[in-house]
């Protein structure tokens, strides 16, 4: 057995042995063709794969809140802010009293350089109970509004409550 054969998972090695049973040829293993979807997956990053995977779930279950949250985060990580905004708006529709949904929506607005909407939505997130002020001060998604005096005023207003 070659070193490569030794590195294969047991089930793959057993499958090749089973596939070769009954063959009376000493030509060695048959070349395997790589299907187009497998090539595409090999070229994708893990994040792209996850976005495709969760996108498939959302096609079947468009109101699946947990998947929407993950998808919104992944789209933001990928820099696809406008698509993330659509997801965050949907989450706020489904969970209108969820402070985290409003916080994430505020982040999407900030990433898209829409400070008025970002600040208004961030205020609502805080009013609904979002209280991680330290994280708000460090969250890079809010960089576009961090220097805005209204942002600092908002934190001062609610941090001491």
Q: What is the pLDDT of residues 120-155, one digit of tens each?
A: 999 999 999 999 999 999 999 999 999 999 999 999
**CA–CA gap between residue 96 and residue 114 (Å, rounded):** 21
pLDDT at position 161:
76
Task: Take residue 19 and report the two structure tokens written for it.
Answer: 């596939």
pTM of the predicted model as reported, rounded to 2 decimal places: 0.71
Which residues of the chain have a pLDDT value below 50? 1-35
Contacts of 139 (CB under 8 A, 6+ apart): 107
pLDDT at residue number 45? 87
**Residue 1 has what pLDDT?**
32
């Amino acid at each position: 057995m070659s070193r490569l054969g030794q590195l294969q998972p047991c089930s793959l090695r057993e499958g090749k042995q089973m596939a070769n049973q009954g063959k009376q040829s000493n030509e060695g293993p048959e070349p395997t063709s790589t299907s187009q979807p497998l090539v595409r997956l090999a070229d994708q990053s893990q994040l792209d794969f996850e976005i495709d995977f969760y996108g498939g779930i959302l096609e079947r279950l468009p109101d699946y809140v947990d998947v929407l949250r993950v998808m919104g985060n992944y789209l933001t990580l990928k820099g696809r802010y406008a698509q993330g905004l659509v997801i965050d708006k949907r989450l706020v529709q489904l969970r209108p009293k969820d402070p985290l949904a409003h916080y994430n929506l505020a982040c999407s607005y900030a990433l898209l350089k829409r400070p008025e909407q970002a600040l208004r939505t961030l205020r609502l997130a805080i009013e609904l109970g979002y209280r991680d002020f330290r994280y708000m001060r460090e969250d890079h998604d809010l960089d576009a509004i961090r220097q805005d005096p209204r942002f600092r005023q908002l934190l001062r207003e609610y941090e001491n409550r």
